[in-house]
Amino acid sequence: MTDAELAAISERVERATPGPWYPIVTDDELYQGAVYVGREAHGKLNEVGLYVDDGRGKKLLVEGEIDDESVIAITCLQFPRLAYQDACDDNALFIAHAREDMPRLLAEVRRLRALLAQQP
């Protein structure tokens, strides 16, 4: 990886919405689900690391009443059909954790490069 590539990654990290980000799964009474990444944790954390809310988030998403600034990404919205993939839960987990993982990875790359630069 070149210095320019590393700098570009760092710039993207700096421009992204501040964290933390939370992976959230929600449903409605018809089992038309949604999985999204938000800036506020809603519900209880399940065994795979998703926050499960009571359906309030789905209702607000569909009706357009959720605070736009609180949604980072939608990885599944079954109705109205917007996004659906088998990996929607895993995609939400990846996106949510990337907000904290990427700065840590960048710091580790810089630390290792500094160590290498000290080698004769």
Mean pLDDT over the full length of the chain = 85
List the domain boundaries for the chain.
Answer: 3-113
Contact present, 44 and 58 (Cβ < 8 Å): no
Q: Is the pLDDT of residue 48 over 60?
A: yes
- The pLDDT confidence band at residue 56, using thresholds 50, 70 and 90, is low
Q: What is the pLDDT of residue 117?
A: 93
Give the predicted TM-score (pTM) of the model: 0.79
Is the bond preceding 23 in cis, omega lying within 30 degrees of 0? no
Q: Which tens digit of pLDDT belongs to each residue from 58-112?
A: 555 555 556 667 889 988 887 666 666 778 889 999 999 999 999 999 999 999 9
Which letter does DSSP use for residue 72 in this model?
E
Say which residue the tokens 């210095």 belong to.
Answer: 3
Q: Find residue 9's DSSP bridge partners.
A: none
Which letter does DSSP use for residue 116 in this model?
H
Least Cα distance to 36 among 47, 48, 51 occurs for 51
HSE (CB half, 13 Å, CA atoms) of 76? 21
Section 37-41 average pLDDT: 90
The token duo for 115 is 């160590």
Query: Rounded distance, CA 31 to CA 12, Å?
Result: 36
Q: What is the pLDDT of residue 22?
A: 95
